[in-house]
Amino acid sequence: MVVAQVASARICTISAAEQQFCERAVAVMNAKGLGVRFSCVQRDSDTTCLEAIRANQADMRAVDGPDIYNGFKDFGLKAIVAEE
């Protein structure tokens, strides 16, 4: 397995509630000194989050179902974590 090292990671959210959760989680993760500085960016849909990732305005988004397929097909994105 190859693990890329990054200095920062921007998590894309699509609602005020998601943004608030992300900001709380990011505060905890950043306080742990994990070597990656996390932040949150908000867009209005999964599609606009995928567009933000492609435009280098965000780095990750949790998606499922059709959005996984669209991420691969329409945006050339790759999954970094998957659950069964």
Q: Does residue 1 have a pLDDT over 70? A: no
In sequence order, what are the residues at sequence separation of 6 or more whose Cβ sits closer than 8 angstroms to the Cβ of residue 1?
none
CATH number for the domain spanning 25: value is: 3.40.190.10
Q: What angle do CA 22, 25, 5 make, to 5 degrees?
A: 95
Q: Is residue 3 part of a domain?
A: no
Q: Is residue 59 part of a domain?
A: yes
Tally the domains of the chain.
Answer: 1
pLDDT tens-place string over residues 39-81: 999 999 988 999 999 999 999 998 777 777 777 788 788 777 7
Q: Is residue 41 part of a domain?
A: yes
**pLDDT of the residue at 51:** 93
Closest CA to 12 of 29, 47, 36: 47
27 vs 67, which has greater pLDDT?
Answer: 27
- Check if the beta carbon of residue 64 is closer than 8 Å to that of residue 46: no
**pLDDT of the residue at 81:** 72
Q: How confident is the model at residue 2 (pLDDT cuts 50, 70, 90)?
A: low
Strands in 1-84 per DSSP E: 8-13, 37-42
Write out the residue range of the structural domain in which residue 25 sits.
8-75
